């Protein structure tokens, strides 16, 4: 009997000591963030697209500014010069949009060096040239917009991009021949390629004008 009582007491002591050794009380702590460290404003920043459109960053992929007029301008400029204002190609075409001297003369620009070093003037000339080509091609835009030629959907922006490449007269011939008169520049870019590549942009912001000048 004494032996059993001693064993029970010994076992009870082991249980009590073990319990006190492994049991830990966790106290809940309320961590409050000081007002000076709390963020209450949105961290998202808006970017002005015009500042991107006027940049001369040398990138290997064209910018995408959507299907509005600025997007049209930058997509076309990237194809022409990678968006660089001071470029002169091997055929003598100048600037961000690669204008020829005769086209510049039509719009009242005669100082080629001044044009090449004036980004604001280059942008104005591009807008004026779009307005001029809209006037020349107004009937063809109305007639062919939304139709297909050789599987390519014809749009106003595609027509105007092709006119920038090959001239409004050649685009008229292409449309009225239903694609039979498809000319290309010295680097192999054709009217049909430009019509397809630059289709679907909204260029309605530029009104058509007869013989606009700087």
Mean pLDDT value across the chain: 81
Find the domain containing 91 and state its range.
65-197
Q: Is 31 exposed, middle or buried (0-12, 13-18, 19+ CB in 10 A)?
A: exposed
pTM as predicted: 0.71
**Nearest-angstrom CA–CA distance, 25 and 107:** 86
47 inside domain: no
* Lowest model confidence (mean pLDDT) among 16-20, 63-67, 101-105, 129-133: 16-20
72 inside domain: yes
135 inside domain: yes
Which tens digits make up the pLDDT trace of 122-165?
999 999 999 999 999 999 999 999 999 999 999 999 999 999 99
191 inside domain: yes
pLDDT band of 168, cuts 50, 70, 90: very high
Counted domains in the chain = 1
């Amino acid at each position: 009997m004494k032996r059993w009582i001693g064993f029970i007491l010994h076992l009870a002591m082991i249980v009590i000591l073990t319990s006190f050794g492994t049991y830990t009380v966790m106290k809940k702590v309320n961590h409050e963030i000081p007002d000076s460290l709390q963020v209450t404003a949105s961290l998202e920043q808006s970017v002005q697209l015009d500042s991107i459109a006027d940049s001369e960053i040398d990138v290997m992929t064209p910018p995408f500014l959507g299907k509005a007029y600025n997007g049209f301008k930058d997509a076309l400029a990237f194809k022409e010069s990678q968006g660089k204002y001071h470029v002169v190609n091997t055929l003598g075409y100048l600037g961000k949009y690669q204008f020829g001297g005769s086209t510049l003369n039509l719009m009242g620009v005669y100082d080629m060096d001044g044009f090449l070093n004036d980004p604001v003037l280059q942008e104005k000339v591009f807008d004026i040239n779009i307005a001029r080509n809209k006037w020349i091609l107004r009937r063809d835009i109305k007639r062919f917009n939304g139709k297909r030629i050789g599987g390519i959907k014809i749009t106003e922006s595609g027509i105007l991009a092709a006119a920038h490449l090959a001239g409004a007269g050649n685009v008229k011939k292409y449309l009225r021949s239903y694609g039979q008169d498809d000319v290309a520049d010295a680097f192999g870019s054709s009217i049909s390629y430009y019509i397809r590549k630059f289709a679907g942009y909204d260029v309605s912001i530029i009104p058509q004008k007869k013989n606009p000048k700087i």
